[in-house]
Amino acid sequence: MSTTKEQLDLMIKVSFPEPLDSIVAYKSYENFNKLIHESDNDTIKYFCDMVSKDKRGLLKLRQEFAENGYELTPNECMQYMFILATCLLDFIEELKVIKKNDNQSE
């Protein structure tokens, strides 16, 4: 089950001050989804590690982004991590459905 643009927009608006533009947020969601679906297990594990960072880890992550030309406020960084986490949860749900369907076809 994928998160819709409207669902993502609502989740971000109620969860964050100064929410990302809904078009930017959903485009990020689509890009993260594409990366997740095209990635190997190590990359997905890296994404999981990214979304579970504490404040110190998020600061380091923001610094890494800045070094690569992407200046983010703490709020923006949290929103992107939230979007990535949403994609990962959607991916896990998709895997559960696939596994359930495989088990039923046996």
Q: Which domain holds residue 82?
A: 5-101
Give the per-residue pLDDT at 103: 73
Give the per-residue pLDDT at 104: 72
Q: Is 20 part of any domain?
A: yes
Q: How many domains does the chain have?
A: 1
Q: Is 106 part of any domain?
A: no
Give the per-residue pLDDT at 106: 63
Give the per-residue pLDDT at 97: 78
Q: Is 53 part of any domain?
A: yes
106 residues of the chain, pLDDT tens digit each: 689 999 999 999 999 999 999 999 999 999 999 999 999 999 999 999 999 999 999 999 999 999 999 999 999 999 999 999 999 999 998 887 777 777 776 6
Q: Is 94 part of any domain?
A: yes
Dist CA 77 CA 11 (whole Å): 16
Helices within 16-73 (DSSP H only): 22-38, 41-51, 55-67
Q: Is 31 part of any domain?
A: yes
Dist CA 51 CA 33 (whole Å): 14
